[in-house]
Structure 1
Amino acid sequence: MNKLILGNILHRPLRTAISVIAVAIEVAMILSIVAIMIGQVSGASSQTGGIGADMIVRPPNASFISSVGGAPVPAKIAEVLRKLSHVAVAAPVITNLSTAGAVQTIWGIDYESYNALKPFVFVSGTPFQGQGDVIVDDLFARSGKGHHIGEVIQVLNHPFRICGIVEHGKGGRLFLPIHALGTLLGTPDNASLFYIRSDNLKNQEAIRQEILSTAGLGQYEVQTMQEWMSLMTPEHLPGFNIALDVIISIAFIVGFLVIFQSMYTAVLERTREIGILKSMGASKAYVVNVVLREAAVVAIVGIILGIGVTQLIHLGMSYKFPTLPFIIGPAWFLRCIVIALIGSVLGALYPAWKASSKDPVDALAYE
């Protein structure tokens, strides 16, 4: 049977190649889009983990993704937070997501307080020397053709001089003085949120209660960093899983239709061969098995090729867009393999049934 299946596959190499490529595209499409989408969520979580804060204070009714842009609250609230018991550091921050040209996370920081949370590790350069300076992380510095100290870059369509390059993992990719970014956004004295480092992790609940009991702060969102990071999952992103399901469904349908067309055409071309097999005693189950196994072989080759293509895409994006996370877990590899196999088998079911239902007399007389 294996020789028969291999012979059938090699008999029409172009059609087989198209089927394999279709499955490979299905696999690469699912894995690449999932890697980028999940990478954005996981990347944001890992970036935030290196800030050094253990609590976060956000405006009233703020969702965990509402701080991607804008500065709705006064930055001077940080002064109030610093006076609270057990608060060692309180740093106001403006967060902004820019999609002009490329996706960039731009943060406005008060350097002294933000650095006090956990000091920057400078690869080269210095902290801000003025309002026209920008600090970039090492991943941004390696992006494109590379960036260096003293280079003037455009941030939100305004020129800023790179004064320092730091190790990544401190929240943003680009850091501006908080007043400079606030001015660009039209809110020079405001902030998006506040990061807090407590004097002792055991005092986090006491800090929370003290903040909520402070006049004017009773409606603010106060969370530990562990609580906030636990929300950084696809399940908590509006429409995230729906978008993934739509993408997977489209890829599944493409793979199903290509395999269906390929196997259906193959069955029509092999009518006489199927008649010979049945006249020699082949059962319906045998014929179905031949067709389904042929489809499975095509699917497996396509899956292997698709995974290879995905790795090439990963390498290309790592070189072209080093700041863009591309993360695929083993579970998604397994899930994608199962989806591709199921689509291929389902696509071959009707052709297999049609082949097994052929009358050997009619099949042998077929020209």
Structure 2
Amino acid sequence: MFLRDLITLTSSSFLTYRMRSFLTGLGIAIGIAAVILLTSIGEGLHQFMLSEFSQFGTNIISVQPGKTQTQGGNVGIFGSVRPLTLEDADALRRLPYVEHIVPSLVGNAEVKFQGRTRRTMVLGEGRDFGHAFTMKVQSGSFWVDADNEQARALAVIGAKIEQELFAGTNPLGQYLRIGGQRYRVVGVMESKGQILGMDMDDTVFIPAARAMELFNRPGLMEVNVSYRADVDANTVIRILTERLKERHGREDFTIISQEQALEVLSSVLNILTFAVGALGGISLLVGAVGILTIMTMAVTERTAEIGLLRALGARKNQVLTLFLGEAMLLSAMGGVLGLLIGIGIAQGLHWLFPALPVHTPWPFAVLAELTAVSIGLMAGVVPAMRAARLDPVEALHAE
């Protein structure tokens, strides 16, 4: 049997039983479409979260009060946590490899200007905030006062605050009240949009020392450390740990690098993407059952044809190849149809809902198509072997 004859016999089966072949391929197509759609949404969410997390900048290490791991047991007064202070931040500023130190805390306050009032998020930050993070000042600048104890009442406002409170007025040099206290506006941030659910345009930045007073907090929420790009994060973490242990007497703080946080986030999102893909893959099992059923019926219906082929000299392995090729071609065509449907629906959802992150991972698409072909191969093995084992004389009698 020549290759041309093999292709002709395989395609003739599809043409003869067009509706049956279409419905069988549709079962595979639905499974592939489900896999592609779910993994596209999962991968889109993955990339969206990583890009959002990375918008704050790179080479950042966060120092937070309190130890995330405890030994258990009641340690009494020795278990009290010493807060992170501005003095701690200044001590870290003088360490090797450290470029910028940003003491930080966050709160919510009412902001007023000439009769206009808005309740918004207030971030208490250090003077190096604009250098450490990928956030730029559109006009004006951040404060440069290095004296934390005598931090002046200065504020940098977000783009939305400028629009809502200072419409038609240059905010630089103007005074606004934050939580009842008077601040002078020295800068306006570039529009940044939302990052991890926080609207950075609807935000006011003030010195960390002022924020501690405004919110009546004894310490900082965290200290962000920006370090040199050519230095390993673990080296910087070791130096930070040693200095803070000298000041606190013990390790009552937690240090998390941006690299570690991104690795954890990426692994969690990878598991999520794989999980939703696996859920869609269940539909492929239904398609496999459909192919197995159709191929079993095809062997029964084409018994005489098989007998004639065997009588004309076709070998067992050629009959086996014929039915296996038919099953694989059927599943491959269904897989291609499923890819088109899945990608089409995913892009359609993104077009209808632009905020929905959608990204089709092509490795998943290729894997899904290979899986479809493999399913066709496995589902067609038993019927194909049955066809190859038929006795030519008995098969011809079936006519």
Change (3 A) 1:232 1:7: same
Q: Give per-residue Cα distances to partners, 1:44-82, cap 9 Å, x unaligned.
A: 1121111125123456438xxxxxxxxxxx9x8575664
Contact 2:103 2:220 in 1 (8 A): no
Q: 2:24 aligns with which of 12, 19, 39?
A: 19
What is the Cα deviation at residue 325 of structure 1?
2.6
1:198 is aligned to 2:226: yes
Q: Separation in 1 of the partners of 2:255 and 2:38?
A: 33
Q: Give the match's secondary structure for 2:101.
A: strand
1:61 is aligned to 2:68: yes
Contact 2:31 2:281 in 1 (8 A): no
The answer to which of 309-318 and 344-353 deviates more is 309-318
Contact 1:257 1:347 in 2 (8 A): yes
Listed as ranges, the matches of 1:1-367 within 5 Å are: 1-52=6-57, 54-57=60-63, 60-61=67-68, 77=84, 79=86, 82-86=89-93, 87-92=100-105, 110=123, 116=130, 117-119=133-135, 126-128=159-161, 166-167=191-192, 170-172=195-197, 174-175=199-200, 194=222, 196-198=224-226, 200-201=228-229, 202=231, 204-205=236-237, 206-211=239-244, 215=248, 218-234=251-267, 236=268, 240=272, 243-244=275-276, 246-247=278-279, 249-367=281-399
Q: Give the match's secondary structure for 2:92.
A: coil
Q: CA RMSD in A?
A: 4.1
1:144 maps to which residue?
none
Change (3 A) 1:262 1:166: farther
What is the Cα deviation at residue 350 of structure 1?
0.9
Larger radius of gyration: 2
Q: Give the match's secondary structure for 2:62.
A: strand
What is the Cα deviation at residue 38 of structure 1?
3.2
Contact 2:135 2:190 in 1 (8 A): no
1:330 corresponds to which letter in structure 2? W
Gaps of at least 5 residues in structure 2 are 1-5, 70-80, 94-99, 108-119, 139-157, 166-188, 205-214
What is the Cα deviation at residue 219 of structure 1?
4.4
Change (3 A) 1:189 1:7: farther
Change (3 A) 1:221 1:241: farther
Q: Separation in 2 of the partners of 1:254 and 1:191?
A: 59
Change (3 A) 1:322 1:292: same
What is the Cα deviation at residue 250 of structure 1?
1.4
What is the Cα deviation at residue 272 of structure 1?
1.6
1:51 corresponds to which letter in structure 2? F
1:198 corresponds to which letter in structure 2? S
1:263 corresponds to which letter in structure 2? M
Q: Separation in 1 of the partners of 2:135 and 2:352?
A: 29
Q: Give per-residue Cα distances to partners, 1:243-287, cap 9 Å, x unaligned.
A: 357426513412311211121122222122112111212111111
Contact 2:36 2:364 in 1 (8 A): yes
The answer to which of 263-272 and 4-13 deviates more is 263-272
Contact 1:276 1:364 in 2 (8 A): yes
Change (3 A) 1:299 1:92: farther
What is the Cα deviation at residue 314 of structure 1?
2.3
Q: Give per-residue Cα distances to partners, 1:275-329, cap 9 Å, x unaligned.
A: 2111212111111111111112112212221221122122122123333332333
Q: Give the match's secondary structure for 1:9.
A: helix
Q: Give the match's secondary structure for 1:223.
A: strand
The alignment-based identity, stated in percent, is 20
Structure 1 length normalisation: TM-score?
A: 0.67
What is the Cα deviation at residue 210 of structure 1?
3.4
2:369 corresponds to which letter in structure 1? I
Q: Separation in 2 of the partners of 1:193 and 1:336?
A: 46
Q: Separation in 2 of the partners of 1:93 and 1:18?
A: 59
